[in-house]
Amino acid sequence: AQTVTQSQPEMSVQEAETVTLSCTYDTSESNYYLFWYKQPPSRQMILVIRQEAYKQQNATENRFSVNFQKAAKSFSLKISDSQLGDTAMYFCAFMSTQGGSEKLVFGKGTKLTVNP
């Protein structure tokens, strides 16, 4: 079974600085998709960024970028120029496609606090 591990339960960063959230996963599949979701205090889940495993180029979305290391099964999220609104829970997720069923498997999350 696929598993997703986020080893940092909590992190904090000063406003305007850069922070990296770690994520590792375990799978035997060769082609898959990875996602980062953000959950602010409102508890609304918001897609931050996604990465296709067959693409070597790391995905970027404005201040958010990933460092995807397929061989190491690592998918970290970098947030540049952190803003107070980035304070949230961040979840790494893996799209499992075994047996023709597509389902998203989530890590336990990292609580990020951006300090003024």
Partner 1 sequence: DGGITQSPKYLFRKEGQNVTLSCEQNLNHDAMYWYRQDPGQGLRLIYYSQIVNDFQKGDIAEGYSVSREKKESFPLTVTSAQKNPTAFYLCASREFYRGGPPNSPLHFGNGTRLTVT
Chain residues that interact with partner 1, rule: CB under 8 A: 6, 9, 32-33, 35, 37, 42-45, 47, 50, 52, 91, 95, 97, 100-109
Burial class (CB in 10 A: 0-12, 13-18, 19+), 25: buried
Shorter beta-carbon distance to partner 1: residue 6 or 76: 6
- The closest alpha carbon to 112, from 76, 73, 74, belongs to 76
Shortest distance, position 94 Cβ to partner 1, whole Å: 10
Shortest distance, position 71 Cβ to partner 1, whole Å: 21
Shortest distance, position 109 Cβ to partner 1, whole Å: 5
3-state SS of 10-26 is: EEEEECCCCEEECCEEE
Task: Count CB atoms within 10 A of the CB of residue 62.
Answer: 9
Shorter beta-carbon distance to partner 1: residue 5 or 18: 5
Shortest distance, position 48 Cβ to partner 1, whole Å: 10
Shorter beta-carbon distance to partner 1: residue 68 or 107: 107
Residues 76, 73: Cα–Cα separation, whole Å: 10
